[in-house]
Structure 1
Amino acid sequence: MAYRPSKQFKKTALGAGAAALLLALNAPAALSFAGDTYHSYKIGRYSYRIQYGSWGLIDLPAEYRINAMHAALLHTGKVLLIAGSGNNQRNFDKGTFSTVLWDPKDDTFRKIPTPEDFFCSGHSQLPDGQLLVAGGTARYEVLGGKVTRAGGGMRVKNESPDKEVRLAKGTVFRSPSGVEYVSKFDVTVPKATRRFEIPYGQGGRMMPWKTVVVAAEARVFVEAVREGAGGLTTQAAQYAVAGLTGRDAHDVYGLAERLSADKQDFQGIKSAYEFDPVAEKYVPVDPMRDARWYPTLVGLQDGRVLAVSGLNDVGDVVPGDNEYYDPRTKKWSEGPFRYFPTYPSLFLAQGGKLLYTGSNAGYGPKDKGREPGVWDLATNRFRKVGGLADPDRLETSSSVLLPPAQDQKVMVLGGGGVGESRLSTARTAVVDLKEAEPVFRPTARLPQGVRYLSSVLLPDDSVFTTGGSADYRGRGASDIRKAQFYYPRTDIFVAAASPTVGRNYHSEALLLPDGRVATFGSDPLFADKDNTRLGKFEHRLEVYSPPYLYRDAARRPVLGEGPAELAPGARATFRAPRAERIQRARLMRPSAVTHTTDVEQRSVELGLEKTAGTVTVTVPADPTLVPPGWYMLFVTDADGTPSVAKWLRVRPDRPTVPPAVPPAVAPVAPQEHGDGWLD
């Protein structure tokens, strides 16, 4: 007799089959859930955190979510996050500029009124604790193919020695053939100058004095009034200024060589401000001599700041006109002439020269200004430093002055090809500036090729590196969600806990006074592997707690009462329970970082003496090692566990004295000598 299943069996079998089918269909999700659950369990265990550290997201209220392009730690312990227009032209067109102040102690936030577009500005810590912010955006780029009106730079000349000329935005310049162009910004042209010459006649006989007028000049961006090809010109011409009559029409005119429909780059502004950390507001100071977008600002041993490179007011890379800011007078003055690509990484070295590592953030030709070298500001001589592997992949690389600063070793990490190149490198290299002939030497390689890598000095003399992407702006979902420590003494990388958030272009990381590392921003080009969906700016704020914060809290070094400022070379005594456990002391300069460019951070070794219940530290007397300003003072035990930092200001040693600057001459191509120096 054939077997026939019962109705109950059929129902049970069908139910089991359906369950099996559902399980098969949902197996990937179930496995993923199980994997995520196990991962959360694993990274939450003490044994994991004591080895790798941990990451945590900060609850950021919606009203404070800005496109953080710039991050700076202030001596109040708060972090200034600057967006400006935030790479968002709608914000720019509306005049909506943003800054947010974050207090890591209690994770509170405050909006700061932002007077101008500081998107892609430069910044530097000043001796009194103010943050200098200079440059930013005057005009957004217009990509090739979307330019409807011819445009370019117009040189406005003034031949009158009696008065300067101010032309408002919207001034019309008319070509000899009647084609009209309109200025996009206000422009002021100084008075012409009179020069006296003594002509000589036949036989060298001296003739009467002769007065020569030399026209003054300013520059402004103009666009054709009408759309189309009618505004294109490739020949130099003189342009009349509409509305001027009589002598003014003769004295004031425009000169342009080429007005095209090519891509029009971002344009910079001249504006400069100091941010006051106590009043928590921007304070205007004198504007720069040149407009700058993507400039580097580097603090010097005398308290002044050197502003270098950037895109100017017509969208060209500043050809080499650099300038000094004096915080005493709040004014700018001429600096040594030298060309660099935008956001060049320049580090103050012992003795007062600057090391250019070759790291930069982009704009500029691939064959100009990209070789590393030592720059003597007093003589304006530049000595090339060779030895780097993958020298064509320095754009978007990271550079740090390794701890302690007294070792005078600077490291370059990763980087990519020029522009939208797919190339990246895992190369790292270190140059020892104490050598008679400094040269980069290869060091331990990164786990993989990376650009936009963030590198942060820690109080235990390690370098924490995190984030970045393998491709340009994270294309192809190439963000690298990994982090690692680099130990200079042993030249090794050691894995750290992996971040949740990927970071590429427009991202930052910096050290907090409690020993944690905060990360911000990221501006991916696309949001998927196939590069079909546009990316969105990353607003999540993630903080990393290194393994040293999971050691026995009762044994962590503590710094108590002590002075808040001292002079170079001076000593300072602090109360310190368990002083016998303290082994090292470091002064760490607070970061001011953007576009993986952070030339502010440095870690200085201090002399250390201990008694029962106190420690006494001695600050080096050399201001090229310890530029004046506010620092975080950390002490660490034998295991590298740091205290919470005390803020300590190192006063300027002497009044500002400008170094000698070579006489201004017409720019010429640099001449290379056999000894490797460029003039």
Structure 2
Amino acid sequence: MLRLFAFVLSLSSLSSFAHAKPISAEAANAGVASNSAATEGKLSTEGSTTYDGQELSAIPAAPSVSEAIAAAISQSGWTIVVDSQNTGTSNYGTNAIDGNTSTFWHTEYQPVLVPLPHNATIDMKTAYLVGSITYLPRQDGQSNGNIGEHVIQLSPDGTTYTTVAFGTWIDDATLKTTTFTPFTARYVRILALSEAGNRGPWSSAAEFNVYTASGSAPPSPVGHGAWVYTIDFPLVPVSIALEWSTGYLLAWSSYTPSSFGGSSGTTTYTATYNPATQLVTQAIITNVDHDMFCEGLSIDFNGKVIATGGNTDAATSSYDPTANDWTALANLNIPRGYQAQVTVSTGNVFTIGASWSGGQGGKNGELYSPSANTWTELANCPVAPMLTADAQGVYRADNHGWLFAWSSGYVFQAGPSKAMNWYLTTGSGNQTGVGNRASDTDSMCGNAVMYDAVAGKILTLGGSPDYQSSNATANAHIITIGTPPATPTVQTIGSMAYARAFANSVVLPDGTVFTAGGQVSAVPFSDATSQFVPELFNPATNTFTQMAPASIPRNYHSVSLLLFDGTVANGGGGLCGTCATNHFDMQIWYPPYLYTSAGALAARPVINSVSVASVAVGKTFSITTAGACTAFSMIRMGSTTHTVNTDQRRIALTPTTTSGTTYTFTVPVDPGVAVPGHWMVFALAGGVPSVSKQLQVTLT
């Protein structure tokens, strides 16, 4: 049985957690009331058979509460121990495992108001391979006691508990499902750290149910990595960005936590995951009048998240992690949604395409200047050369470009069209076609990752010829770009084991590339034909190795990012109202490099210090480690939505001098290679990476 890495919380330690201020009950409920509309512009209602005018299978509704309970492990013979119960109103702990949704457990509030945290421990009397639990809040029309922040722990013996999930549940009466890596357990413990609406120090539950895993126990992490825990979010994380100042993961959905659409939406639901405290807090963004769903996304030289267009098709907003605040910026000249954008070597932000909103066609390139807060249309950067031959025409053909910043203000467009192009973003712009991506097809909602920026190497993976109702490929290519606008070289390599559309790919400190999720047949809001087995690309051999299988489908609207500690956050999928394919969670994957040959967690090298907080391109910096290290790299912090992450790129670092365990490096002089901004610096010993230190690369 896989030994999951656990941060095991004692009850005494829970009260010391630093809780960020939650949103009010009124604010939380305001966005939940309208969740029945699952409309992304052209998807009319839940269960509709048409999406963007094309016939599809009806989106399956989420199982009813009675259906979910019927599928659970029988509660017969179970016992439960709770820290508190309100006996005066018969709100006993046993009500949470009696199969009756009309009764509920409530912690004591009279004559004594018992403070948080609270806990409930279930003894199922028999050990099962457990794969998920559900929590049903009270169903009497009241909300007091809805559990918000929580921890879920499992135990085979009632003595040693392993944390398999934590996070924050949304504040409503719907059934909450938490799925995790299968674990053999007899005991289930739910720790309630907060009340979801901040109404008081109590907890309540109509029902807790437990479900067996559909598969088998996960393999040893040796060579396969491991999915170590699940993080529950109070929204479907469709867009995410890494905050350079804290290492927090910022996530957002749309104008509601679980659906999108609405032509007048000017609100965005967000949530923040803090890896250090394992807490998820939430906020509703209204001050910028921007529903940021389906936006263009990138991080600028100063580490600010720049979000453009989307459901509010002309708006531009920025998020400053140091101030924890969103600011409205100048509007786009060309309204857009589903665009890719990229921070270029000049410090400006380039975007192109995106006919999902703001009208169809003519979504030529334009450039944002952060210093002047202005958008300028680039007359000579037409979108037409990068269109795919999508069955739905330009509405889909200009979506989700694979854009890479490069030298002298150039941007390389590697896909998803099979046609490749250089775009110059200075002056009035320029476009140069450089042929097709070998024999590849159009590869909408595939992946492209610059895993070796110094060599200009880009790995492309999967995707499908049409956006939807189209079979994905397993195709893989390596594009090597040089001095623009020269034609790049394209190498066709061995395919992935699995065809994938809507998957996500992340470059790791050692130069390997992790790809997770996706489906064989690209159908938005469907979990059919899901690919659960991730793959790891090895650039030394140009081959793929299958990793430990995930337990949650990750398809349309899923996301992935590298975290400060060299692990990967992979989550989301759905955002379709009351459908069955909403995934309010993320899972953390530990790559194989974090394990010894015996399957234990490896000792990690340590970076004691970095000589400077910022360094200009072409200049030097040093790091001092606690012991000898054999390899080094830096990876630009990422942001991603709809399979696109134009920020991430990796630079392998070679010391120019070494003195003991102090190593000195020179940053590449080309800002098209070492794009200014915030980077994670890693040291590796025996292939095992350190936790990163942060370094800002500047233009001068």
Alignment CA distance shift 1:618-1:44 (3 Å) = farther
Deviates more, 1:477-486 or 1:81-90: 81-90
Alignment CA distance shift 1:415-1:305 (3 Å) = same
2:555 to 504, 510, 521: 504
Q: Where do residues 556-567 of structure 1 align in structure 2 (5 Å cutoff)?
A: 556-562=604-610, 563-567=612-616
Contact 2:237 2:585 in 1 (8 A): no
2:412 to 346, 355, 362: 355
Alignment CA distance shift 1:78-1:35 (3 Å) = closer
Contact 1:386 1:439 in 2 (8 A): no
Alignment CA distance shift 1:636-1:44 (3 Å) = farther
What secondary structure sits across from 1:298 in the alignment? strand
Q: Which residue of 1 aligns with 2:574?
A: 523
What secondary structure sits across from 1:425 in the alignment? coil
Q: How far 1:273 moved relative to its partner?
A: 1.3
Q: How far 1:600 moved relative to its partner?
A: 0.9
What secondary structure sits across from 2:284 in the alignment? coil
The structure whose residues are more often strand, as a share, is 2
Q: Which residue of 2 aligns with 1:570?
A: 619
Q: Which residue of 1 aligns with 2:367?
A: 324
Q: How far 1:476 moved relative to its partner?
A: 7.1
Q: How far 1:623 moved relative to its partner?
A: 0.6
Q: How far 1:524 moved relative to its partner?
A: 8.3
1:438 aligned to 2:476?
no
Aligned equivalents of 2:470, 2:261: Cα separation in 1: 29
Aligned equivalents of 1:538, 1:320: Cα separation in 2: 32
The structure whose residues are more often helix, as a share, is 1
Q: Which residue of 1 aligns with 2:530?
A: 479
| Matching residue's letter, 2:374 | K
| Matching residue's letter, 1:388 | A
Q: How far 1:279 moved relative to its partner?
A: 1.4
2:223 to 35, 38, 51: 51
Q: Where do residues 396-545 of structure 1 align in structure 2 (5 Å cutoff)?
A: 396-402=445-451, 404-434=452-482, 437-473=487-523, 475=526, 477-523=528-574, 534-545=579-590
Aligned equivalents of 2:518, 2:459: Cα separation in 1: 17
1:121 aligned to 2:301?
no
Alignment CA distance shift 1:476-1:67 (3 Å) = closer
Q: How far 1:347 moved relative to its partner?
A: 0.9
Q: Which residue of 2 aligns with 1:597?
A: 644
List gaps (5 residues or longer) in structure 2. Answer: 1-126, 132-155, 157-180, 185-214, 387-397
| Matching residue's letter, 1:49 | P
Deviates more, 1:486-495 or 1:614-623: 614-623
Aligned equivalents of 2:692, 2:511: Cα separation in 1: 15
Q: Which residue of 1 aligns with 2:106?
A: none
Residues 529-576 of structure 1: CA deviation (Å, up to 9, x unaligned)? xxxx95331112111011222237674221112221111122122221
What secondary structure sits across from 1:548 in the alignment? helix
Q: Which residue of 2 aligns with 1:250?
A: none
Q: TM-score, normalised by structure 2?
A: 0.62
2:242 to 73, 78, 96: 73
Residues 150-174 of structure 1: CA deviation (Å, up to 9, x unaligned)? xxxxxxxxxxxxxxxxxxxxxxxxx
1:643 aligned to 2:643?
no
Aligned equivalents of 2:683, 2:665: Cα separation in 1: 10
Aligned equivalents of 1:598, 1:545: Cα separation in 2: 20
What secondary structure sits across from 1:84 in the alignment? coil
Aligned equivalents of 1:92, 1:82: Cα separation in 2: 18
Aligned equivalents of 1:80, 1:534: Cα separation in 2: 24
Could you list the structure 1 runs, at least 4 aligned residues long, displaced by more than 4 angstroms after superposition: 32-45, 89-96, 552-555
1:346 to 391, 403, 408: 403
Q: How far 1:374 moved relative to its partner?
A: 2.8
Q: Where do residues 57-456 of structure 1 align in structure 2 (5 Å cutoff)?
A: 57-60=229-232, 64-75=233-244, 76-85=246-255, 88-89=259-260, 97-115=268-286, 116-138=290-312, 269-311=313-355, 314-317=358-361, 319-335=362-378, 336-339=380-383, 340=386, 341-350=398-407, 352-359=409-416, 371-378=419-426, 380-392=430-442, 394-402=443-451, 404-434=452-482, 437-456=487-506
Q: CA RMSD in A?
A: 2.9
Aligned equivalents of 2:527, 2:632: Cα separation in 1: 44
Q: How far 1:489 moved relative to its partner?
A: 1.7
What secondary structure sits across from 1:111 in the alignment? strand
Aligned equivalents of 2:604, 2:216: Cα separation in 1: 23
What secondary structure sits across from 1:310 in the alignment? coil
Aligned equivalents of 1:554, 1:482: Cα separation in 2: 24
Deviates more, 1:110-119 or 1:126-135: 110-119
Contact 1:518 1:543 in 2 (8 A): yes
Larger radius of gyration between Structure 1 and Structure 2: 1
Aligned equivalents of 1:441, 1:81: Cα separation in 2: 35
Q: How far 1:484 moved relative to its partner?
A: 1.4
Aligned equivalents of 1:290, 1:524: Cα separation in 2: 26
Percent identity at matched positions? 25
2:668 to 598, 620, 640: 620
Contact 1:468 1:504 in 2 (8 A): yes
| Matching residue's letter, 1:322 | G
Aligned equivalents of 2:240, 2:560: Cα separation in 1: 8
Aligned equivalents of 1:572, 1:624: Cα separation in 2: 19
Residues 457-501 of structure 1: CA deviation (Å, up to 9, x unaligned)? 000110011110111237472111011110112111112111111
Contact 2:616 2:698 in 1 (8 A): yes
What secondary structure sits across from 2:222 in the alignment? helix
Alignment CA distance shift 1:616-1:55 (3 Å) = same
Contact 2:231 2:587 in 1 (8 A): no
